[in-house]
Amino acid sequence: MLNNHAKLIRFFSEANGVTGRKKLQKMIYILQKCDIPFEEKYQFHFYGPYSEELTLRVEELCNLGFLQEEKEDKSNYYQYNYNITPAGTEFLNQFSMEMPDMATKVAMLKEKSSRFLELVSTMFYFDDLPLRENIEKIHMVKPKQKYSDEEIQEAIRFMEEMKQEGK
């Protein structure tokens, strides 16, 4: 019961706060691609991989009182921040669940900007393509982001570090 919810609460417990919905979307996707067994289904959207299932599940966790959502007015948009609540921690403690250690991976992701994670998650999305075609695809589907060669090289290094971490 509620296994997928419990996995997400574990993530929020490790992350100790997540700033921004876009960042949250990309963090879970990248963790999925690094063999952390989140089961939320992703599709490609305007801003990269996006999971409606994840959005709804996080909304459920907030409504259940397991997560606290804070809405911050950033003048031209709202930003949403998430923290686990004591009820969320208690739920997690009652739940027996096998989950690989993801603390270091989560910490690595938390340090990065949502723009960078958008690039990394999009590169992961096209990881069945050879690297050159993958980079071409990035420029094709995200022309407005104007990712520089340095950012792309940094993303490639980061993807490798994420995959190697814990092995």
Partner 1 sequence: MAYKDEQLSEEKVFKDPVHRYVHVRDRVIWDLIAAPEFQRLRRIKQLGTTNLTFHGAEHSRFNHSLGVYEIVRRIINNFQDRPHWNKDERLLCLCAALLHDLGHGPFSHSFEKVFKLDHEYFTQQIVLGDTKINEILERVDKGFAQKVADVIAKTYEDKLVVSLISSQIDADRMDYLQRDAYFTGVSYGHFDMERILRVMRPIEDQVVIKSTGMHAVEDYIMSRYQMYWQVYFHPVTRSAEVILTKILHRAKHLYETEDFTFKLQPTHFVSFFKGEVNLADYLKLDEMVVHYYFQLWQEEDDEILRDLCERFMNRRLFKYVEFNPNLQMNEWMELYKLFQEAEIDPEYYLVVDSSSDLPYDFYRPGEEEERLPIHLLMPDGSLKELSRHSDIVESISGKKRTDHKLYFPKDRLNELKDQALRARIMEILYGQGEKVDVE
Binding site for partner 1 (CB under 8 A): 1-2, 4-5, 20-22, 24-25, 41, 43-47, 50, 52-53, 55-57, 59-60, 63-66, 77-80, 87, 91, 94, 114, 126, 137, 140-141, 144
Q: Which residue is it, tokens 């996006």?
A: 50
User: Angle at Cα 76 formed by Cα 70 and Cα 77, nearest 5°?
Assistant: 35
Structure tokens at 66: 């397991």
Sheet strands (E) in the chain:
18-19, 43-45, 48-50, 67-73, 78-84
What are 128's two structure tokens? 């069945």
For the bound state, the minimum distance from the C-beta of residue 91 to partner 1, rounded and expressed in Å, comes to 7
Nearest CB to partner 1, comparing residues 114 and 155: 114
Task: Please report how close the Cβ of residue 44 comes to partner 1 at its closest, in angstroms.
Answer: 5
Task: Name the residue nearer to partner 1 (CB basis): 45 or 157.
Answer: 45
- Nearer Cβ to partner 1, position 13 or 55? 55
- Toward partner 1, which CB reaches closer, 136 or 161? 136
Token digits for 109? 């992701």
Look up residue 105 and give its two tokens. 């991976």
